[in-house]
Structure 1
Amino acid sequence: MTQPDHARLLVDVSRDYYLDGRSKVEIADRRGISRFQVARLLAEAREAGVVRIEIAPPAHLDGDRARRLADLLGAQEVVIVATGNDPRRTRDAAAHALAGLLAARVRAGTTVGVSWSRTIELAAGLLGALPPCEVVQLVGALPVDGAGNSLALIERFRGMEGVRTWPVWSPLLVGDPATAAGMRRQPEVAAALDRADALDLAVVAVGAWSATGSTVYPLVTDAEREDAAAAGAVAECSGRLFATDGSPLVTPLDARVVGVTPEQLARTPEVLAVGYGEHVAPALRAAVVGGIATTIVCDDAAARALEELLGSPAA
């Protein structure tokens, strides 16, 4: 067989096997050679570069990409999940990832702070049990249509054997500063918020400060929105606002919030922050830069927006 004929056979056998899905036995019968010869020809085709095999995992399963993004952000870890066809599917994917992180991180004796969001609520429902630990409610209740709230969430943990809970029996957003201050002084509420000084781990949601990005935004006054915009708010976490550089913002809204403070989150050794959608990228960056988030759970859309924001578009 001449060299051109042999090269053509390499191409034909490779096309039969890799593109047309024929078995080695079928190819052998078709080409009048043995299946062992087929195997040798396929190996030769790969060695000669006739066949080049590329494995391209989905973006959300690319571990190297997640590590690169974590390095760019300055985060300990980034977990990227698939962006679903609708927000519910994306939320489900993020909740599964968050539940996995929680199950892996919580040890006997751990003190865990838990904020509230739809995603965190779903993640808690996916947890079968936790080792004996303490779970601190980080924010007052914020009822949202079609979902529960932080009080229902803390009850989920209360039902786990060996788990002690520290509830915050208050709304997240109180009508005026004086009432909010009074709620923070209530013994049970004060005990839970004080306990947030000694967290080992916290779980929070980070949202963009916008009508669609934050569950708090639609509930505040026009004046409070204007004050927040003037202060440069881009992110909301547990009712607290943050600027692009991650610095916490003290606005009139802050005085009406009953919940964990930015300083308490910054003192927590590990904070898992979840957010999804491209619009949340500046908020996630602010959370990491500001020292209130160490691990990020986001979807592919948010990851791509972060990569562009940080000057490193995905390959």
Structure 2
Amino acid sequence: MSLADDKRLLVEIASLYYEQNKTQEEIAQKMNISRSLVSKFLAKARNEGIIEFTINDQFAGPYRELEEQLKEMYGLEEVVCVESTDQHFQGKVLGLAAAKYLSRILKSHDVVAVSSGTTVHEAAENFSKQHQLPNVKFIPLVGGLGTEHLTIQSNRVCELLATNSGGRSVELHAPITLDDIEAKQVLMKQSFIKKVLDAAEAADVALVGIGGTPEFSTLTNAYLPEQIDNDPEYSQEKIAGDICYNFIDHAGKAAKCSWNDRVVSIELNKLKKIPSRIGVSGGHKKLSGIKAALNGQLINVLITDEKTGRELVNV
């Protein structure tokens, strides 16, 4: 068979398979050759450029290039960028994106550890009831008893996720913070506390919000309003933001402050052992916290808005 005839045959087989949707068996019968030879000819057609594939990425979202930049720059497994909007709606948009991402990745029998916060609550509220996951379990990463911000506490977020997904939730019967480190040490030894946090540490997925510097933090405004301006250990130089109620420095390590000694939360080194750690946060006020969480590899999946994403690339 001449080269021209060979090329002609490759084109014909490729056309039958890709344009006319014939099976390899049907092509083999038509051409009076074996099915294995059809497969070899198709491979040869691809190798010689007779067949070319084009992926139409217009449906992949308008921020694909930015997402790839962030992935490469910070060593992330996945990035989802959404449209930047005003502060009032940004949390809702991010929460919806996080809900869609969760529904895409969660598998039967997954364990999901969840922090607290407005954006994480939006993710729970927007989780589609059409995507039922009866064998998935949601577990708090932080304490959740107290009088402040009841609807966004971790126990409530887990309950809402379980309700919408058809899964199950576990409660952590512990306050967000205690009066001193000694009280925390006693509490953390209690079997009913240890059992829940041990289960959270062994989770497959973590969903966490990320707060900004203390003056913008929901956490400090609720529990440390006086210390924000008066206590040097909560200065912007020392604290970049917070994650799972832990204040973090600009390197993404737990900041040295009395709050971190007293808070009831997963330890950051244990958070990092959870395979998939989704951080959902956006807005300029939270930029330093997000950057710190990325520096410390506290998250490996980022859901944020376009403007914040571009600031993270250019920071």
1:228–1:125 CA distance, 2 compared to 1 (3 A) = same
Count of residue correspondences? 252
Partner of 2:153: 149
- Check if 1:99 corresponds to 2:102: no
Deviations 1:4-60 (A, max 9, x none): xxxxxxxxxxxxxxxxxxxxxxxxxxxxxxxxxxxxxxxxxxxxxxxxxxxxx8xx7
Deviations 1:175-204 (A, max 9, x none): 322333333233322211111221111000
Deviations 1:48-79 (A, max 9, x none): xxxxxxxxx8xx72211211122112211221
Tell me the distance in 2 between the aligned counterparts of 1:251 and 1:120. 25
The partner residue of 1:134 within 137, 143, 149 is 137
Contact map agreement 2:251 2:295 (CA 8 A) in 1:
yes
Partner of 1:238: 244
- Following superposition, the deviation at residue 209 of structure 1 comes to 2.1
- Following superposition, the deviation at residue 230 of structure 1 comes to 8.3
Partner of 1:50: none
- Check if 1:222 corresponds to 2:227: yes
Q: Return the letter of the residue paired with 1:249.
A: A
**In angstroms, what is the RMSD of aligned CA positions?**
2.7
Q: How does 1:1-315 map to 2 (within 5 A)?
A: 61-84=62-85, 86-127=86-127, 128=129, 129-141=132-144, 144-145=148-149, 147-159=151-163, 163-212=167-216, 214-218=217-221, 219-220=223-224, 222=227, 225-229=231-235, 232-309=238-315
Tell me the distance in 2 between the aligned counterparts of 1:87 and 1:171. 29
Tell me the distance in 1 between the aligned counterparts of 2:263 and 2:257. 11
TM-score under structure 1 normalisation? 0.72
Contact map agreement 1:166 1:191 (CA 8 A) in 2:
no
Deviations 1:138-161 (A, max 9, x none): 111265459442222222244367
Where does structure 1 differ by over 6 angstroms across 4 or more consecutive aligned residues?
none
- Following superposition, the deviation at residue 95 of structure 1 comes to 0.6
State the secondary structure of the residue aligned to 1:211: helix
Contact map agreement 1:167 1:188 (CA 8 A) in 2:
no
1:166–1:145 CA distance, 2 compared to 1 (3 A) = closer
Q: Return the letter of the residue paired with 1:227.
A: E
1:215–1:230 CA distance, 2 compared to 1 (3 A) = closer
Q: Return the letter of the residue paired with 1:100.
A: K
Contact map agreement 2:277 2:300 (CA 8 A) in 1:
yes
TM-score under structure 2 normalisation? 0.72
1:240–1:145 CA distance, 2 compared to 1 (3 A) = closer
1:143–1:108 CA distance, 2 compared to 1 (3 A) = farther
1:145–1:162 CA distance, 2 compared to 1 (3 A) = closer
Unpaired segments ≥5 residues, structure 2: 1-57
- Following superposition, the deviation at residue 80 of structure 1 comes to 1.0
Q: Return the letter of the residue paired with 2:70.
A: L
Tell me the distance in 1 between the aligned counterparts of 2:122 and 2:268. 24
More divergent stretch after superposition (232-241 vs 244-253): 244-253
- Following superposition, the deviation at residue 94 of structure 1 comes to 0.2
Partner of 1:36: none
1:232–1:196 CA distance, 2 compared to 1 (3 A) = same
Contact map agreement 2:134 2:168 (CA 8 A) in 1:
no
1:262–1:225 CA distance, 2 compared to 1 (3 A) = farther
Contact map agreement 1:270 1:294 (CA 8 A) in 2:
yes
Q: Return the letter of the residue paired with 2:202.
A: A
Q: Return the letter of the residue paired with 1:94.
A: L
State the secondary structure of the residue aligned to 1:159: helix
Tell me the distance in 2 between the aligned counterparts of 1:201 and 1:243. 24
Contact map agreement 1:96 1:126 (CA 8 A) in 2:
yes
